[in-house]
């Protein structure tokens, strides 16, 4: 039986829950807001170049450039193709994992500041909740940066528990919250960091 372009489907491997990224060049590729946002969007649902362009507010050419880099790095794949009204095939892209966690030991020097800043922002959000509940002692900028480095390591450790699991259907951000919570719980058990929280 021949398939018409409208019915064409491309089989994609089951998506992993977590991939620990160890290749420094791929990590450097992830040190970019647009590419990380594309991965976040595609981890939620398959999208076309046109859909991503509208969502991100950038040109299709710019989206195509980023998709090419992400595809070459093995972070995304084409989940299916569908024909539009005029017979033009639209490719739907998806991530190969629900969540990508960088190995902090493999981060190139020129990308370290990006990943530290992302962790600092996450931690500032979390720690502000503890502060509002009067459960946080004073924390300096230097200590916060040190905490961000430790958190990157904890995320890798916790993430390794999920690398052999397949992604569950649903919101991939729930998995990220779960892993982040587990990493934070591990971190607060360490004496050095436990002391910044009031009992």
Tell me: the pLDDT tens digits for 52-110? 999 999 999 999 999 999 999 999 999 999 887 777 889 999 999 999 999 999 999 99
Count the domains in the chain.
2
Give yes or no: residues 112 and 82 share one domain.
no
Give yes or no: residues 111 and 182 share one domain.
yes
Cβ within 8 Å of residue 153, ≥6 positions away? 104
Which range of residues forms the domain containing residue 91?
5-100
Give yes or no: residues 113 and 88 share one domain.
no
Picking from 78, 100, 122, the residue at the C-terminal end of a domain is 100
Instruction: For residue 74, give the 3-state DSSP assignment.
Output: coil
Picking from 49, 68, 100, the residue at the C-terminal end of a domain is 100
Sign of CA dihedral 154, 172, 145, 29: positive
Instruction: For residue 19, give the 3-state DSSP assignment.
Output: strand
The structure's pTM equals 0.85
Give yes or no: residues 26 and 87 share one domain.
yes
- Going by their DSSP bridges, the two strands 89-95 and 97-102 should be labelled as unpaired
pLDDT in tens, 2-54: 334 444 444 445 789 999 999 999 999 999 999 999 999 999 999 999 999 99
Nearest CA to 17 out of 96, 97, 102 is that of: 97
Picking from 76, 100, 124, the residue at the C-terminal end of a domain is 100
């Amino acid at each position: 039986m021949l398939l018409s372009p409208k019915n064409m489907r491309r089989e994609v491997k089951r998506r992993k829950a977590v991939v620990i990224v160890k290749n420094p060049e791929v990590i450097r590729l992830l040190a970019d807001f647009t590419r990380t946002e594309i991965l976040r969007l595609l981890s939620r649902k398959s999208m076309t170049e046109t859909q991503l362009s509208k969502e991100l507010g950038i040109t299709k050419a710019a989206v195509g450039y980023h998709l090419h880099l992400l595809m070459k790095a093995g972070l995304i794949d084409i989940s299916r193709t569908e024909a539009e009204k005029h017979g033009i095939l639209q490719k739907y892209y998806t991530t190969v994992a629900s969540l990508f966690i960088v190995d902090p030991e493999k981060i190139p020097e020129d990308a370290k500041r990006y990943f530290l800043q992302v962790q600092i922002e996450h931690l500032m959000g979390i720690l502000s909740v503890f502060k509002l509940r009067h459960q946080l002692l004073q924390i300096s900028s230097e200590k916060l940066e040190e905490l961000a480095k430790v958190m990157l390591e904890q995320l890798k450790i916790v993430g390794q528990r999920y690398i052999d699991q397949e992604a569950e259907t649903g919101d991939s951000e729930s998995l990220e919250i779960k892993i982040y919570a587990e990493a934070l719980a591990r971190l607060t058990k360490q004496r050095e960091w436990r002391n910044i929280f009031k009992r």
